[in-house]
């Protein structure tokens, strides 16, 4: 069965004048938060919420979205921004950058969640990645981009297993934090990282 056409999409299509925005990476203990914005020319048969997909399916969908979307962009906020502004504000900054990086200016912008990125007039929609196709597409691009980023960063900090858990607080990650202490990719404002930092002093 073809992953890209396994079933009809149940998501709403708001048209080519609408950009959907979503993020990936708010919860992990390490790495950047990444946001994406997507304008879909037409509905994509079989598109779904990224959280319901396997990693393989997300990769295939990301390639299709980049090829068939009317416009798309991916942006991020670094760990220093997360520590300076907090994770929510850093996420909103990444979203604002993703919107600003679109090669086309949408007439309508809908953002997953209930917070608006600075500098843009948007609509917010809680659970939007399971309701609107452009948001779902943005969520897929953000997730794939972040996973690939963490796989690259794992080469520089191999002791933490970032390519396996993508920076989330798994048991193995927490053990590595205790054993090696935080690295520059770790978010000091997150409790487990802060406690690991303090024990190393």
Q: Tens of pLDDT along 143-184? A: 999 999 999 999 999 999 999 999 999 999 999 999 999 999
Strands 108-112 and 123-125: parallel
Q: Hey, what are 12's tokens?
A: 């709403």
Q: What number of other Cβ atoms are within 10 A of residue 157's Cβ?
A: 17
pTM (2 decimals)?
0.93
CA atoms of 48 and 173, how far apart (whole Å)? 30
- Does residue 57 carry a pLDDT above 90? yes
Region 70-93: what's the mean pLDDT? 97
Mean pLDDT of the chain: 94
pLDDT value at residue 31: 98
**Is the confidence at residue 7, as pLDDT, over 90?**
no
> For position 99, what pLDDT does the model report?
98
Q: Cα separation of 200 and 145, whole Å?
A: 32
Can you give the pLDDT at residue 1? 38
What CATH homologous superfamily does 3-157 map to? Ribonuclease H-like superfamily/Ribonuclease H (3.30.420.10)
pLDDT for residue 6 is more than 50: no
Q: What is the pLDDT of residue 201?
A: 58
pLDDT tens per residue, range 109-145: 999 999 999 999 999 999 999 999 999 999 999 999 9
**Inter-CA distances, 109 with 38, 63, 149, 153, 155, Å:** 10, 22, 26, 32, 36
pLDDT greater than 90 at residue 8: no
In this prediction, residue 184 carries a pLDDT of: 96
pLDDT at 9: 62
Domain boundaries along the sequence of the chain: 3-157
pLDDT, mean of residues 21-28: 97
The C-alpha atoms of residue 165 and residue 77 are separated, in whole angstroms, by: 19
Q: What pLDDT is attached to residue 102?
A: 98
83 burial (CB, 10 Å; 0-12 / 13-18 / 19+) is middle
Evaluated on CA atoms 168, 172, 178, 179, the torsion sign reads negative
Q: How confident is the model at residue 197 (pLDDT cuts 50, 70, 90)?
A: confident
């Amino acid at each position: 069965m073809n992953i890209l056409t396994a079933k009809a999409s149940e998501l709403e299509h708001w048209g080519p004048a609408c950009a959907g925005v979503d993020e990936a990476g708010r919860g992990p203990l390490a790495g950047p938060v990444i946001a994406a914005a997507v304008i879909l020319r037409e509905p994509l048969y079989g598109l779904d919420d990224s959280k319901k997909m396997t990693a393989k399916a997300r990769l295939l969908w990301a390639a299709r979205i980049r090829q068939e979307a009317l416009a798309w962009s991916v942006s991020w906020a670094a760990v220093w921004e997360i520590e300076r502004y907090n994770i929510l504000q850093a996420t909103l900054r990444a979203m604002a950058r993703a919107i600003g990086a679109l090669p086309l200016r949408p007439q309508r912008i809908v953002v997953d969640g209930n917070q608006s990125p600075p500098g843009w007039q948007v609509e917010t929609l809680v659970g939007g990645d399971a309701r609107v196709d452009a948001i779902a597409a943005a969520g897929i691009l953000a997730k794939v981009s972040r996973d690939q980023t963490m796989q690259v960063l794992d080469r520089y900090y191999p002791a933490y297993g970032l390519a396996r858990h993508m920076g989330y607080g798994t048991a193995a990650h927490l053990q590595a934090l205790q054993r090696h202490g935080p690295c520059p990719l770790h978010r000091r404002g997150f409790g487990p990282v802060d406690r690991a930092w303090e024990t190393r002093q």
